[in-house]
Amino acid sequence: MKYLIKYLLQQNIRSQKYLAPVVFYTIVMLLMYSYKPNPVADSYGVTAMLLFFGSAWLGLTVMNAEPPNQIQLLVLHTGSRRKVAIGQLICAVVMQLALTLITIVYPIITGMFERQPTTHEWIVAWCGHLVLALLGLSISVFFQNAYISRLSWSLPIFIVVLLSSFVQVSLSERLPESLQWISYILPPAFYLVQKMMLFDGGGLGQIVLVCTWSAVYAMLLLSTHIWLSGRRDLRS
């Protein structure tokens, strides 16, 4: 497995497809921290939301980095489609970890905050960013070429799902009662970002609950993708 992950990482770096989401995300983050001082909780809430979108975009580039014939060769060498799918996910997570590390550490080492984060704020920042990055990845896997062959079809739905994750409260108020279930199945990104922004350094109970729910939601999607990848030839 480690050779597969190493190969996938090298291929992604060589392809340079990761550059667009990484550069765009980095520029937006630098613009946000172009002045100081910044409030700790609000700033980490905004960067976590940006990381959700950036991770989803980055995940999609990782999933689509290899052409179908190359995927078939990887399956022959590894002996399992699920191994290839897991390798792609680990590759995406490694790249997202690097983005998360930069996002959390940058404002501290450059003195962009109004004060140093407390231990509780530090914990919330790491948990929130990591879970939202995983949530973004779990959505992106279902919009890769293996599931929807035409980018012109998958991209609009992909963008709508990501944006809907942050308007589900207002969406629920506007939908007829018979359709309000739609808001309950959308990714819970809004609720986690909201808790991060409102975090005042007090109890961690509510934010742990939302983090856990978001992580379970992401793991269910990723598990479904891994199961489906072994059920059929996704590239046929």
pLDDT of 236 higher than 50: no
Question: For residue 203, what pLDDT is reported?
Answer: 67
CB-based contact 46:32 (threshold 8 Å): yes
Question: For residue 168, what pLDDT is reported?
Answer: 76
- Mean per-residue pLDDT, 220-234: 83
Kindly report the backbone phi and psi dihedral angles of residue 110, in degrees, each rounded to the nearest multiple of 5, phi listed first.
-100, 0
Amino acid at residue number 84: V
236 C-beta neighbours (distance < 10 Å), count? 7
pLDDT of 233 higher than 80: no
Give the residue with greater pLDDT, 203 vs 105.
105
pLDDT of 234 higher than 50: no
Q: Which residues contact 179 (CB under 8 A, 6 or more apart)?
A: none
The two structure tokens encoding residue 215: 């992580």
Q: What is the full DSSP assignment across 29-92?
A: HHHHTSSS-B-HHHHHHHHHHHHHHHHHHHHHHHHTSS-HHHHHHHHHHHS-HHHHHHHHHHHH
The two structure tokens encoding residue 189: 């990104």
The two structure tokens encoding residue 17: 């497809």
Amino acid at residue number 88: Q
Question: For residue 152, what pLDDT is reported?
Answer: 81
Burial bucket for residue 134 (CB in 10 Å: 0-12, 13-18, 19+): buried
**Span 95-108, pLDDT tens digits:** 999 999 999 999 99
CA of residue 122 relative to chain centroid, distance = 20
CA of residue 229 relative to chain centroid, distance = 20
* pLDDT band at residue 178 under the 50/70/90 scheme: confident
Closest CA relative to residue 171, chosen from 180, 158, 163, 159: 180
